[in-house]
Structure 1
Amino acid sequence: MTPPPVLQIREWSTTTPDTPGAGALLRGLRLTEADRELLAELEGRASLRFTELRSGLSISVGPHIGTVSLSGLRLVIMPKIRIDNLMRMVAYAFDLSDLLVTATRTTYTAADHGLIDLLGLSLLRSVERIARGGLLPNYQARNEDLATPRGRLDMRHIATHPRRATLRCTYDDLTVDHELNQLLASGLRLAAAVMQSVDIRLDLARAADRFFGDLPRTPLDAERLRAALEGLDRRSSHYRTALTLIALIHHGARLGEHAEAGAMPLSSFTLNMNMVFERFLGRYLAENGPDDIRISAQDVRSDVFSYLENAGGWNQPTIRPDFVFRQRRRVIAVADAKYKNRHEHPPSSAELYQLTAYGLAYAMPEPREVLLLHPLASGELERATTLLFAPSAANQQVRIRLVGVPVDGLLDGTVARWWPLAPPRAAAAPPVPAPRTAPSTSLGHQQLGGR
């Protein structure tokens, strides 16, 4: 069966049948019932909107990247940053210290396959590395009737079941059939189902059968993955990369239940770049700040709003800025991370209301400093933008400053140092270009062990 055409679009974009070039693939396109079921699964989970028009299909996307495979179209949503830097960003944000980023994968991605296949390749290599060293065995308690006694005899059972050729025994069996390996097997099979490349689908499915063919099939769920990651210890720490990749794929993957005979199953994988950007910044700020600055991420406060009357019994409202900067325990700034192209999307009224509330909620020197952190792609220049909230009826002032984060430069080493806060009584220092002869200073290079 002929594969559907591939449409590449960028995050934070809208493509219609009238869009020059790309719009030709959307003219006259109609969604099938199976397509609508898959898109209904995505509703509320991804910033994707498909609108059926008289002339065809319109597609709008926000801060999500990935792939969506429909009956008549395969959509690839590309990031604004370079794909090799995207993989470094994911590795750094999620602490995947041994995730490899190679030129082969970068070239492969350029061939219309998207991020999901890169994550699938990374998962396959991670599991193969675990298997080469030997799957981790664990002791599992067994209680079985055996012809040859083993472990502890269950005398109560033996006494109540005489004249049998077997004895009830309780023993500990050293086996690879345990939770961690079952999750790897299920993760490989899930990844195989959502890959865009047939070759990678086959490689993942074969790896699941080759390494875990004797293990029972168990369903994946977020709680099992979370518990497994939290329970890793010194013996099992080498499973972290594979389990984190499986958690990422599980979080963003959706499978359609219906597909035509002989056709590739409908599927989608989307990655929320807001989440990745926020986690990336959280780690970077914590590791690169001045010694006297402390960063609190997701600082939840429930003491800002209080009900005078609450007949409905509603929960107490909270605020949760992404980052709070403290110097000697005093709050000096609050920041929120928004993964948006600020050259095309200026701050909305809702964002300004939110940032102003953050500024007023913390005791800070006047004017209260609130930062709106946003990514700068390679070659984009910082556009100095500062807003002042200073109503005549109030004494408090909130200064909202837009600060661009040179993500590509930090990841590939062309920017050596960056810090969002201005030095005392001085303007904010611009990013300092690093010598191109020393790429080992990059976050990506440090994170990936110099590979």
Structure 2
Amino acid sequence: MNIFLNRTEVIELTEYQTIEFPKDKDPFMDMDRAWNLLWEKYRKEVEVEFPSRKTDGQWQIKSKGWVGYIPLTPEIILYLKPKVKVSNIFEMWEYAYNLNSFQILEGEINCQTIEGFYSRIANVLAKRIIDRERQGLYRAYVPKTDYLTFVRGRIDIQNAIQKPWSIKLKCHYDEQTVDIEDNQILAWTLDIIIHNSLWTEQVPVPPSVRQAYHALQGLVTIKEFQPEDCIGRNYNYLNQDYQLLHSLCRFFLEGAGPSHEKGDRTMLPFLIDMAKLYELFVAEWLKENLPSHLFLKFQEQVKISDRISFKTDIALYEKSTENPRYILDTKYKTPDSPAPNDVAQVIAYAVSKQCQEVILVYPTSLTYLLDETIGNIRVRSLTFSLNSNLEEAGTTFLKELFS
């Protein structure tokens, strides 16, 4: 289905769905340029087949399990539509980013679209930044060096000896400022949000986002940060509330892909890697709901040799012995049955960890379930469903896991 907004064509593509477009479908829309750009920059998110005999002279575009918006040209935006209810995406997101304990939204989320979800979360971040700015932004001492007419901090003796005639002294000192990384991450994230491609007349940038952005302008340097800059930061009683702010920032920065031109942030995409979100969600849900005799390790590295290593998605260990009990590998796919390569992969995990049970975890029920013993390793397929209430789905999953 196509939606027309201000002469912009928004093309909808549901997860794992394939759509076809004739070559030069619309002389007023440069479709060929759009699909070429999609192939060049977004091959990880979308599969593109060029017009050929194989495709009967048409473009074939298939979503690979990502959700969000990709601006291709000023006239064409690709909307990667989720199969999962947006309310469930929100709940998964809360668990995945360790935000469910903060109760960041009052009541249930009632938006039914990705842009509505994005807008509500952006509004939450902006309002909390505004509240913190009113209380006073977190400050820290940063080292500075300057030539002063008075002594401040420590005089650079070597410089004073070399230039005895200078009336200004080179001093090294610490200065308290709000222009620090903690606040710069907030400013950069707001900048990313404002320049996102999904905003339209129908869904405009929330006023709170612009208000928060203007509140930081002039106080904080706008500089680029990566999602990983939001993780593993040090907090104390003066900036403890920044932990939530940075968790929210991480979500927006992970969703902001590369712009089309270097330095141009006028058409930024917004993308959610549903496979990664599903993996994080299952891990965090299990952490909170495992029986007391088990503990979980996430993305545990297994080293085979100096050059060969891999990471297991989720490993469950017995607390009493610290021996691995289950290895779980999440597969955000909708196949009829487990793929042979996936089965071989989890068996390799099991052998490397000397674990006798491995489980392939899918978001929907498979037509052909797997429950076989290969050597001394039991291999199963189970479902942690995303199609209904997630808490009930998780309870069902645990019962089947321990059966």
User: Under TM normalisation by the shorter chain, which class is it?
Assistant: 0.7 to 0.9
Offset, 1:370 = 1.9
Query: Which region of structure 1 is more displaced relative to structure 2, 114-123 or 25-34?
Result: 25-34
Cα separation, partners in 2 of 1:233 and 1:408, compared to 1, 3 Å: farther
Which of 51, 73, 84 is the aligned partner of 2:49?
51
1:83 and 2:83 are equivalent in the alignment: no
Q: Where does residue 256 of structure 2 map in the other structure?
A: 253
Aligned residue pairs, count: 385
Offset, 1:153 = 4.2
The TM-score normalised by the length of structure 2 is 0.80
Q: What SS class does the counterpart of residue 257 from structure 2 fall into?
A: strand
Q: Where does residue 208 of structure 1 map in the other structure?
A: 213
Q: Where does residue 371 of structure 1 map in the other structure?
A: 359
Q: Where does residue 382 of structure 2 map in the other structure?
A: 403
Q: Where does residue 372 of structure 2 map in the other structure?
A: 388
1:242 and 2:245 are equivalent in the alignment: yes
Cα separation, partners in 2 of 1:195 and 1:205, compared to 1, 3 Å: farther
Q: Where does residue 121 of structure 1 map in the other structure?
A: 123
Distance (Å, rounded) in 1 between the aligned partners of 2:296 and 2:267 = 43
Q: Where does residue 13 of structure 2 map in the other structure?
A: 9
Relative contact order (C-alpha < 8 Å, sep 6+): which is higher? 1
Q: Where does residue 66 of structure 2 map in the other structure?
A: 64
Cα separation, partners in 2 of 1:231 and 1:78, compared to 1, 3 Å: same
Offset, 1:336 = 0.8
Cα separation, partners in 2 of 1:271 and 1:415, compared to 1, 3 Å: closer
Q: What SS class does the counterpart of residue 67 from structure 2 fall into?
A: strand
Identity rate, percent: 20
Q: What SS class does the counterpart of residue 174 from structure 1 fall into?
A: strand
Q: How does 1:284-295 map to 2 (within 5 A)?
A: 284-295=285-296
Cα separation, partners in 2 of 1:176 and 1:410, compared to 1, 3 Å: same
Q: What are structure 2's unaligned runs of at least 5 residues?
A: none
Cα separation, partners in 2 of 1:423 and 1:209, compared to 1, 3 Å: closer
Query: Which region of structure 1 is more displaced relative to structure 2, 145-154 or 176-185?
Result: 145-154
Give 1:215's aligned amino acid.
Answer: V
Distance (Å, rounded) in 1 between the aligned partners of 2:228 and 2:354 = 38
Offset, 1:63 = 2.0
Distance (Å, rounded) in 2 between the aligned partners of 1:77 and 1:102 = 28
Offset, 1:338 = 1.0
Q: What SS class does the counterpart of residue 137 from structure 2 fall into?
A: coil
Offset, 1:169 = 3.4
Query: Is the Cα contact below 8 Å between 2:71 and 2:197 reproduced in 1?
Result: no
Q: Where does residue 395 of structure 2 map in the other structure?
A: 417
Distance (Å, rounded) in 2 between the aligned partners of 1:103 and 1:75 = 31
Cα separation, partners in 2 of 1:64 and 1:115, compared to 1, 3 Å: farther
Give 1:212's aligned amino acid.
Answer: Q
Give 1:123's aligned amino acid.
Answer: L
Cα separation, partners in 2 of 1:208 and 1:47, compared to 1, 3 Å: same
Q: What SS class does the counterpart of residue 301 from structure 1 fall into?
A: strand
Q: What are structure 1's unaligned runs of at least 5 residues?
A: 19-24, 307-314, 391-395, 429-451
What RMSD over aligned residues (CA atoms) do the two structures have, in Å?
3.6
Distance (Å, rounded) in 1 between the aligned partners of 2:251 and 2:299 = 20
Cα separation, partners in 2 of 1:297 and 1:26, compared to 1, 3 Å: farther
Query: Is the Cα contact below 8 Å between 1:117 and 1:196 reproduced in 2?
Result: no
Deviation string, structure 1 residues 367-399 (Cα, Å, up to 9, x no partner): x432111224xxxx7878233254xxxxx1433
Q: What SS class does the counterpart of residue 279 from structure 2 fall into?
A: helix
Cα separation, partners in 2 of 1:409 and 1:38, compared to 1, 3 Å: closer
Query: Is the Cα contact below 8 Å between 1:38 and 1:254 reproduced in 2?
Result: no
Distance (Å, rounded) in 1 between the aligned partners of 2:167 and 2:151 = 11
Q: Where does residue 282 of structure 2 map in the other structure?
A: 281
Deviation string, structure 1 residues 302-337 (Cα, Å, up to 9, x no partner): 24xx6xxxxxxxx53234332223333333322211
The TM-score normalised by the length of structure 1 is 0.72
